[in-house]
Chain A
Amino acid sequence: MIIKTDFLESYLKDESNYLGKANSVYIPENEDELQEIISHCFNSDLHFTMRGAGTGLTAGSTPDKDVLISLEKLNKIKKIDTENERITIEPCVTLEQLDTYLKEYEYFYPPNPTESKSSLGGNVATNASGSRSFKYGPTRNFVTKLKVILPNGEVLKLERGKNIAKNGKLTFNTENNTQISIDVKNIFNTNVKNASGYYLTENMDAIDLFIGSEGTLGVFSEIELKILKRPQHIIGLIVWFNNFDKLYDFFSIINSKINKYSEVQPRIIEFYNTTSLNFLRATFPQIPETANYAIWIEEEYNKEDEDKLLENYFNIISEFSNIPDETWTAMSEEEHKKFATFRHSLPEKTTELVRQLGHTKLSIDVAVPMPLLKEYYLKVEEVFKGLEMPSCIYGHISSAHLHCDMFYSNAQEKVLADKIYSKVISIGLDLGGVVSAEHGIGKIKRQFFYQMYDEETINYMKSIKSTFDTKNLLGNNNLFY
């Protein structure tokens, strides 16, 4: 085990730029060492925070005191079982590493969070989702087993389907046969894409409580994931619109599973507003001049259906887009790579603003119920209108979840950005939405987390935490004050 007590700076920040504090960083090299250091922290009453790849956006892996445990060395792929479509990994395997490995076997891991360098442990801790969540759902849907080290060092093995809540109670045993029992109240909004607080619902599975718990209940030392056969053919389309209403009508049709174009069943639908396209125009002068909005679609298909699929898309695009002939299309692997460059350009361009020009990013991660998405968007667009600092609205329209980013560069702009941030979150919550659909609460969104839930619910979630973390040592200041 490596123990560091100085030059800790690189461990005290994630992508949110929130600066943490710690006295030491422990880097266990295997599961035994991980368990050993967790027990040491417990016995010595040391607060400890877990860190994977450090790519989070809410300071969940940033320590506030005492100890940081970095899982960076637990990065091995342990076993692939193609017959049952399962893969067993250590927590700090990255999405990129997993995909390269699975490619050899012609398999893939469907959730597709944008940050390919993020760790699967972090993905599970935040129930990360991504562009393919429309078809496949978030990380949760693909976690089949978890080995969890509880804050007192005891080990808990969870398998999906084995521990289901009954009559408001969820009961299970650790490997030492300690029985844990919690009262289950239905508090988690499952109608909206949601990464805000513990997954507590009637008839829940115990494994789901830990998925999305943001490193506050236990530490994942081993993860088993469901994998799928890699699709043989994928079509990618970028469709341009000059008018939001037309875009929205188009989206509503392809987003519904049953429609007159029911052969059209995308796995990805993503949205870009005008300011997002303006960011991209610097790198992609080919973007049509008259395009104000864009939708990016991806669909898996069989070769024999190709002609029909192209025709279906062409018909529906011609009905709604004013420039249907400009629709960009990717079918070969090379063309998909070019599309990937297009998609990654927006985060790259905005990161440039942060890294090179010293702007600070404020990222809104609200999701709302699907029927209210258009109302939400139009209200947010109104709030963002005429904003002088750089901003963009883009993302997972098919989950009614759009990212709204602002980049301020001085104190005056910060005041304005904070004001807009609160305003947009209030708009979202008023429409029955959630504070965080994807990035989690961590430390930096607690204020809004407390705005979303009443005191009784917050206290209930705190009581769940103390069932597992009796001394309140793990993930200090994540979720709760």
Chain B
Amino acid sequence: MNIAVIISLIPEAEAKLNITNDNKRIEASNKKFIINPLDEFALEEAIRTKEKFGGEVKIIAYSVIDDIANAEVLLRSALAVGADNAIFIENTENFSQALIAKNICHYLSDFKPDIIFTGNKNIFYNSTELPVIVSTLFELNCLTEVIKLDFRQENENHIIAICEREIEIGKEKVEIKLPCVLAVNKGINEPRYPKLVDIMRAKSKPFIMKKAEIVDDILDVEKIDIVINNRENHVINDTDEEIKKLAEILKTKL
């Protein structure tokens, strides 16, 4: 089975972010990135699927900001948990999700994936549209919010994915025919830890950097604002006077 996983690399939570003078680009000061946490569940699900059916797991990755220092380290660790090869698409900063989807499809078209896994959301951009656009470009079925996955094999060429989805009132069970795109959510699995032997093997697995081929975007970033936290902090000491002051603040400001 040909299994693809879309992974986005995003700045770590503690990273200090700045906006360039033209207000159009984000800069991450320490350049340390992580794998978008929901994409880790997608990777684990891809490996479990390979363990069930055999085949190949291909990672296709991009970063939300270009000045990333550790893309290879992160993707090597993704290879170490069981993926077979990885492509990293460079220079996708400020790309719309649609343009990222086009580039992903460009590099995946020869692979002919039976399933494409990805996280339900890119938490850095708070965006969920990527899996839907990818499925549209590939003319595949797509399910989002998948929290449980099983398979039923009708025959060699006919596999059904049995998915549980989170919906407003509870859970929904849906069957979807492969090939398809599945966007998974937290809770679908517990990602495994990289194993020593697999880290050693991962060193020789193919890892390719590719330039973004399609660059004409339908969207243009006009301006990025970082929200400034206007919260006021008061330190109240444990004295009668200060406590009276606190009571006053609570009375007047709340």
- Interface set of A (CB-CB < 8 Å, partner B): 2, 4, 27, 237-238, 284-286, 307, 310-311, 313-314, 317, 324-335, 338
Roughly how many angstroms separate A333 CA and B14 CA in the complex, as a whole number? 12
User: Which residues does chain A contribute within 8 Å of B190, judged by CB atoms?
Assistant: 284-286
> Which of B77, B197, B200, B203: most chain A Cβ within 10 A?
B197
Residue of A nearest to B70 (CB): A332
- Our pick among A2, A286, A314, A335 for the contact of B77 (Cβ within 8 Å) is A335
Task: Tell me if A326 and B70 are in contact (CB < 8 A).
Answer: no
**Residue count of chain B within 8 Å CB distance of chain A:** 22
Task: Tell me if B199 and A329 are in contact (CB < 8 A).
Answer: yes
Q: With an 8 A cutoff between CB atoms, is B194 at the interface?
A: yes
Task: Tell me if A2 and B238 are in contact (CB < 8 A).
Answer: yes
Task: Tell me if A326 and B195 are in contact (CB < 8 A).
Answer: yes
Chain B proximity of A355: nearest CB distance (Å): 25
> Which of A307, A324, A335: most chain B Cβ within 10 A?
A335
User: Which residues does chain A contribute within 8 Å of B239, judged by CB atoms?
Assistant: 2
Task: Tell me if B193 and A338 are in contact (CB < 8 A).
Answer: yes
Chain B proximity of A26: nearest CB distance (Å): 12
Roughly how many angstroms separate A271 CA and B199 CA in the complex, as a whole number? 23
User: Which residues does chain A contribute within 8 Å of B203, judged by CB atoms?
Assistant: 307
Residue of A nearest to B242 (CB): A2
Task: Tell me if B196 and A331 are in contact (CB < 8 A).
Answer: no
Task: Tell me if B237 and A332 are in contact (CB < 8 A).
Answer: no
Task: Tell me if B77 and A328 are in contact (CB < 8 A).
Answer: no
User: Which residues does chain A contribute within 8 Å of B193, judged by CB atoms?
Assistant: 238, 286, 328-330, 335, 338
Q: 29 pairs across A/B with beta carbons < 8 Å?
A: A2-B238, A2-B239, A4-B238, A285-B190, A307-B203, A310-B196, A310-B199, A311-B200, A314-B196, A317-B196, A324-B196, A324-B197, A325-B195, A325-B196, A327-B196, A329-B193, A329-B195, A330-B194, A331-B73, A331-B77, A332-B70, A332-B73, A332-B77, A333-B12, A333-B32, A334-B12, A334-B35, A334-B77, A338-B193
User: Which residues does chain A contribute within 8 Å of B199, judged by CB atoms?
Assistant: 310, 329, 331
When A2-B238, A2-B239, A307-B203 are in contact, do A332 and B196 touch as well, CB less than 8 Å?
A: no
**A-B contact number at CB 8 A:** 62
Residue of B nearest to A236 (CB): B193
Chain A proximity of B57: nearest CB distance (Å): 18
Q: With an 8 A cutoff between CB atoms, is B161 at the interface?
A: no
In the complex, besides A327-B196, A331-B199, 15 extra interface pairs with C-beta distance below 8 angstroms are A2-B239, A27-B238, A237-B196, A286-B192, A286-B193, A310-B199, A311-B200, A314-B197, A325-B197, A327-B197, A331-B73, A332-B77, A335-B77, A335-B193, A338-B193
Q: With an 8 A cutoff between CB atoms, is B221 at the interface?
A: no
Roughly how many angstroms separate A345 CA and B196 CA in the complex, as a whole number? 22
When A2-B239, A285-B190 are in contact, do A329 and B196 touch as well, CB less than 8 Å?
A: yes
Chain B proximity of A221: nearest CB distance (Å): 21
Task: Tell me if B194 and A329 are in contact (CB < 8 A).
Answer: yes
Q: With an 8 A cutoff between CB atoms, is B178 at the interface?
A: no
Task: Tell me if A332 and B74 are in contact (CB < 8 A).
Answer: yes
Roughly how many angstroms separate A334 CA and B239 CA in the complex, as a whole number? 43
Roughly how many angstroms separate A307 CA and B35 CA in the complex, as a whole number? 24
Which residues of B in the span 174-202 have a Cβ within 8 Å of any Cβ on A? Answer: 190, 192-197, 199-200
User: Which residues does chain A contribute within 8 Å of B197, judged by CB atoms?
Assistant: 314, 324-325, 327
Task: Tell me if A335 and B194 are in contact (CB < 8 A).
Answer: yes
Task: Tell me if B238 and A328 are in contact (CB < 8 A).
Answer: no
Chain B proximity of A191: nearest CB distance (Å): 34
Roughly how many angstroms separate A313 CA and B192 CA in the complex, as a whole number? 20
Residue of B nearest to A7 (CB): B238
Roughly how many angstroms separate A323 CA and B87 CA in the complex, as a whole number? 32
Roughly how many angstroms separate A317 CA and B200 CA in the complex, as a whole number? 14
User: Which residues does chain B contribute within 8 Å of A333, judged by CB atoms?
Assistant: 12, 32
Q: With an 8 A cutoff between CB atoms, is B34 at the interface?
A: yes
Chain B proximity of A319: nearest CB distance (Å): 13
Roughly how many angstroms separate A307 CA and B80 CA in the complex, as a whole number? 14
- Our pick among B73, B77, B200, B238 for the contact of A310 (Cβ within 8 Å) is B200
User: Which residues does chain B contribute within 8 Å of A27, judged by CB atoms?
Assistant: 238
Chain A proximity of B124: nearest CB distance (Å): 15
- Our pick among B74, B195, B237 for the contact of A328 (Cβ within 8 Å) is B195
Task: Tell me if B194 and A328 are in contact (CB < 8 A).
Answer: yes
Roughly how many angstroms separate A238 CA and B196 CA in the complex, as a whole number? 9
User: Which residues does chain B contribute within 8 Å of A317, judged by CB atoms?
Assistant: 196
Roughly how many angstroms separate A237 CA and B194 CA in the complex, as a whole number? 10
Task: Tell me if B32 and A314 are in contact (CB < 8 A).
Answer: no
Residue of B nearest to A100 (CB): B14
Roughly how many angstroms separate A311 CA and B199 CA in the complex, as a whole number? 10
Chain B proximity of A348: nearest CB distance (Å): 17
Roughly how many angstroms separate A332 CA and B199 CA in the complex, as a whole number? 12
Residue-wise interface mask of B (130-169) relative to A, using a CB-CB cutoff of 8 A (1 in contact, 0 not): 0000000000000000000000000000000000000000
Chain A proximity of B172: nearest CB distance (Å): 25
Roughly how many angstroms separate A314 CA and B193 CA in the complex, as a whole number? 16
Which residues of B in the span 8-34 have a Cβ within 8 Å of any Cβ on A? Answer: 12, 32, 34
Chain B proximity of A256: nearest CB distance (Å): 21
Residue of A nearest to B194 (CB): A329
User: Which residues does chain B contribute within 8 Å of A284, judged by CB atoms?
Assistant: 190
